[in-house]
A and B are shown apart, each in its own frame.
Chain A
Amino acid sequence: SSELTQDPTVSVALGQTVTITCQGDILTKFYASWYQQKPGQAPLLVIYHGNKRPSGIPDRFSASDSGNTASLTITGTQAEDEADYYCSSRGGGASHYWVFGGGTKLTVL
């Protein structure tokens, strides 16, 4: 299956740790990447190739995977982390076909 499933909404108290998950059969074979999108802005790559952080992304962002689930963890969540988060991965057997999850809206309380 080429679908990636995310919980539509997640909330976290300021300063706490939150995990956002992404499920899909393809994740048993390929890594996920993660994007943060704030209102009116383009997505920002926060995790690539499974668990790597691009330059400039705070180390409170980390990722892991287990079976068919990829997870993005934010440790010590800040108010500015409130955003939509999208996972992405391969869309299936094709070597260069990408799909995104439906997104998770993270609310920081």
Chain B
Amino acid sequence: QLHLQESGPGLVKPSETLSLTCTVSGGSIITSDHYWAWIRQSPGKGLEWIMSSYYSGSIYYNPSLESRVTFSADTSKNKFSLKLTSVTAADTAIYYCARDMATGGTADFDYWGQGILVTVSS
């Protein structure tokens, strides 16, 4: 059974960089069958897809966030990461990592982490 777990600071100051890591267990991130994704949810609001990527690249971004986000993967530790620069209060959200099924044409995320709340505040 695949398990994903987010980790990182729960509080980030405005204008700084938000950095989160997703540790995957029960399966390898080295696969060409799936992407690895980040999705966020502002408090009390809906879901927003941030990006999806193969472990080796081929990164797809939400156009509204593309200029501020970076994806990276550490295959030796079976982890992948998100960096979001120049954060503001609007970036306060629960951040989820997930597996993107890459079924082609549909947004299918079949495994999710429990989520981590990141608050942007001074």
Contact = CB atoms under 8 A, between A and B. Distances in A.
B52 A49 contact: no
Interface on chain B toward A: helix, strand, loop, or mixed SS?
A: loop
B113 A88 contact: no
B49 A99 contact: yes
Q: Label chain A's interface by main secondary structure.
A: loop
Interface of A: 30-33, 35, 41-45, 48-50, 54, 86, 88-91, 94-103
A97 to B, nearest CB: 7
A102 B41 CA distance: 11
Report the 9 A-B pairs with minimum CB-CB distance, sorted nearest first.
A98-B107, A96-B60, A42-B112, A88-B107, A48-B108, A100-B47, A98-B49, A49-B106, A31-B106
B60 A42 contact: no
Contact of A97 (B35, B63, B96, B101): B63
